[in-house]
Chain A
Amino acid sequence: MLSQTYTVIHPSGFHARPSKLFVQAATEFPCSVKLIKGTKKVNGKSSLGLLTLGLANGDEVTLEVDGEREEEALQTLGAMLTKIYEE
């Protein structure tokens, strides 16, 4: 299992478009993908899960991947968490 913490910098928070792209990318990986903010932990392959996490600009979020291709997942998905998207 690998995990790392990132800061969200997308101005309107990690919703709509960023969240869609994230879930799409996460679904491509065979390993499990979890996102943790505070005491809440959700499935990173579910847009509903991401939504209920309510990631705002400046929030810290921990990405936890476990299973096949976890290293690659951490790298790809981690970069997606700390990026600004075209809206």
Chain B
Amino acid sequence: MANIISGVAASPGIAIAKAFRYINTPYIPQQKTITDAIAEAGRFRQAIEQSKIEIEEIRLKTEQRLGAQKAEIFEAHLFLLEDPDLIDSVLDKVKDEQASAEYALYEVTAAVVEMLLELDNEMVRERAADVKDVSGRLMSHLLGKPYASLSGISEETIILAEDLTPSDTAQLDLNVILGFVTEIGSRTSHSAIMARSLEIPAIVGAGAASAAVADGALVIMDATEGKVIVDPSEEVLAEYREKKKQYDERKVQLKRLARQPSVTADGEHLELAANIGSVEDLNKVLENGADGVGLFRTEFLYMGRSSLPTEEEQFQIYKHVLEKLGGKRVVIRTLDIGGDKELPYLELAKESNPFLGLRALRLCLTREDLFRTQLRALLRASVFGKLNIMFPMIAVLSELREAKRILEEERVKLQQEGIPVSDLIEVGMMIEIPAAAIGADYFAKEVDFFSIGTNDLIQYTMAADRMNESVAYLYQPYHPSILRLVRMVIKAAERAGIWSGMCGEMAGDQTAIPLLLGMGLNEFSMSAGSVLPARELIGKLSKQEWASLSEEALGMSTQEEVQQFVKQRRPL
């Protein structure tokens, strides 16, 4: 009888193999009094030295296999073995309480682990795994027993364990270990992170049910959905074999795309960039092979804190992002706050119509102090990569000119202070207000690029709050009126010889992409996960063909007609 266990899908993939129950539960020593404290301290020091040698070996192997970054965790382990707080606490217990080294070690590390698990910080709670791992290894040396390891496995298996230590995951033999399921843990657990970098399927937090799976039972793990099927029927097995085959093929295909340029079937090069909201999003951007960052929302820098971020803090963050992208374009949008996004410490007045109120650049122009701080940080960071600065929420030329004037003033000031600023910064604006879209021709003469923010452009054009469910039907990205506005912007950019991009949801939408390509959009910025499917799609599209097809679509009168039309014409 098949039995289904569910957990958290921590690293995607599908594996089918026999289960192997791995037992690595820590040893809990009895309280024991010793007589020779000096000898006991010596035993402890010896266990430390032996553990150091082993960990150094693992560190070296991990470095060769997975690179220096993944090996760093073992440097942290070596560090713990030299930690004055840890060693002194154990030695004090041995000396003052005549505790055995085993018991002293257990008491000290258990207290640390407990303290870590109580913290309101997931990252730190996960570090408890390191303390447990090191303490387990020390314990094995004190006891003169080998530390639990997965090295003896010789046939294809799926590991089931309470949890895997860093030492375990670093030494997984991927020829025989096809995936693992743990009882505890979350997506940010060490074992989950390792599984993703090793690219093997992993399900974590599967609970006690997974402990009941018999050793040697046939299991299917579907880590795309977080499901473990124990003793499947022939039918289910056949279904999953097929699913696995398709999944693996698709993965290879998308991976290949991650290293390829974004080119249409007729040879037109485009930029497929990613939107980011924080520095944490960068890894996804790089993994998915995005051509750059098309929108860096800087709001997160200002939110969840009690005072404004300093110039230095901002500089460090912008510099980091630019360096990470290694010369690829990074469009950083200046602060878009106010209205519905509140910052209590700014003490802004309540507004009855926040989306039409004092937000984004409008706010920055009335609070020049905070605007200038951000601009200085951006200018200083500009020498570390390809920086583009973008101003949001511009309706009229005077706003753009004022923002540019302030930017120029700060540039001159920095240069006078002897601080280098790049000459290659491009300055652009977001087009999200219909007045700016209609006036794109005169704006185009004064900026280096446009980026169309469709989420707001749609709500302002339709006069429909996108958060209001009762008018949700008016959120129509493919409506000919919206598409015509978008075309006006792209054509104005073309005529002025500047590039045009889009950074709303629409830019990564499989129905919108053919039309946008046909209208001549140069840059598409989307969530990182949409980049590869978008690259795959444009590789099948001819820009020339869609230039005329999009004209046809723009002549229609409803969103439904447009959608229908694209679906019929778009290659599968």
List A residues at the B interface (Cβ < 8 Å).
Answer: 7, 9, 11-13, 15-17, 20, 23, 43, 45-49, 51-52, 54, 56, 58, 82-84, 87
Contacts and interface: CB of A to CB of B under 8 A. Distances in A.
B418 interface: no
B73 A9 contact: no
Given A16-B73, A46-B84, A52-B115, A9 B313 contact: yes
B366 interface: no
Contacts of A52: 112, 115-116, 119
B83 A48 contact: yes
A54 to B, nearest CB: 4
A11 B301 CA distance: 10
User: Chain B: interface secondary structure?
Assistant: helix
B121 A54 contact: yes
A70 B84 CA distance: 20
**Most chain B beta carbons < 10 A, residue from A12, A43, A52:** A52
A49 B313 contact: no
Query: Counting chain B CB atoms within 10 Å of each CB, which of A48, A49, A51 scores highest?
Result: A48
Contacts of A23: 79
Contacts of B120: 54
Given A16-B72, A43-B85, A46-B84, 10 more contacts: A7-B305, A11-B280, A13-B124, A15-B127, A23-B79, A45-B84, A48-B85, A48-B131, A51-B124, A84-B279
Interface of B: 69, 72-73, 75-76, 79-80, 83-86, 112, 115-116, 119-121, 123-124, 127, 131, 278-280, 304-305, 309, 312-313, 316-317, 319-320
Contacts of A58: 304-305
A72 B357 CA distance: 49
B283 to A, nearest CB: 9
A20 B76 contact: yes
Kindly list the 6 A-B residue pairs having the minimum CB-CB distance in the complex, ordered from nearest.
A46-B85, A11-B279, A54-B119, A54-B124, A84-B320, A54-B121
Contact of B112 (A11, A45, A48): A48
B123 A12 contact: yes
B139 to A, nearest CB: 17
A52 B115 CA distance: 7
Contacts of A20: 72, 75-76, 79
A46 B131 CA distance: 13
B123 A56 contact: yes
A49 B317 CA distance: 27
Nearest to B307: A7
A82 B310 CA distance: 11
B325 to A, nearest CB: 13
A43 B17 CA distance: 48
A56 B304 CA distance: 12
A51 B316 contact: no
A49 to B, nearest CB: 5
A49 B112 CA distance: 9
A55 B278 CA distance: 18
A56 B121 contact: yes
B112 A82 contact: no
Contacts of B80: 47-48
Contact of B76 (A46, A47, A82, A87): A47
A56 B280 CA distance: 13
A46 to B, nearest CB: 4
28 contacts: A7-B305, A7-B313, A11-B279, A12-B123, A12-B280, A13-B124, A15-B124, A15-B127, A16-B73, A17-B72, A20-B79, A45-B84, A46-B86, A48-B80, A48-B85, A48-B131, A51-B116, A51-B124, A52-B112, A52-B115, A54-B116, A54-B120, A56-B121, A56-B124, A58-B304, A82-B312, A82-B316, A84-B316
Contact of A13 (B76, B86, B123): B123
A84 B83 contact: no
Nearest to B279: A11
B124 A9 contact: no
B85 A49 contact: yes
A20 B278 CA distance: 24
Contacts of A84: 279, 316-317, 319-320
A12 B121 CA distance: 10
Nearest to A58: B305
Contacts of A54: 116, 119-121, 124
Contacts of B73: 16
B68 to A, nearest CB: 11
B562 to A, nearest CB: 40
Contacts of B305: 7, 58
A17 B72 CA distance: 8
A77 B312 CA distance: 16
Contacts of B316: 9, 82-84
A17 B131 CA distance: 16
A64 to B, nearest CB: 16
